[in-house]
Amino acid sequence: MLGLLFVAGCAENGGSEEPAPSTPVEEPVEEGDTGEVAGEEETVTIPESEQNETGAKAEIVDVEIRDYKYIPESLNVNVGQTVRWTNYDSVLHDVVGSGIESEYLRQGETFTYTFEQEGTYDYICTIHPWMEGEVIAEA
């Protein structure tokens, strides 16, 4: 059966030796598109002795999402540091506010955000808005 389809596909070219013309399909590329899949993030462990461009240590600071709370609820970091939220609850949670926006996190999933500017970043879980947290990024 496959042989018949193959032969039929070749016969549609009118028996010509030349290949049938084709039009290449190009997907539009948005400016700044790196080809990475949205929502996927990679965590790289950098030794504490190394520092990033801002002079802050490049360590990752962890926040637990557990029992419908962000633990710790308030956190101080240096500009350039990354915070990683991990959902330990069996229900969906997210981290949204002050320019931070995660996807819904299932149990065991993580979200990371690097604080590049000084300021106070308040956030909530949009599914459970009584869950509140803040990160204070200092120079």
Nearest CA to 52 among 84, 80, 78, 87?
80
Q: What is the DSSP letter of 17?
A: S
pLDDT tens figures, 85-129: 999 999 999 999 999 999 999 999 999 999 999 999 999 999 999
Look at the pTM and tell me if it is higher than 0.85: no
pLDDT for the residue 47: 39
pLDDT tens figures, 117-139: 999 999 999 999 999 999 999 99
pLDDT for the residue 4: 40
Vertex 80: Cα angle to 78 and 82 (nearest 5): 90
Domains of the chain (ranges, CATH numbers): 60-138 (2.60.40.420)
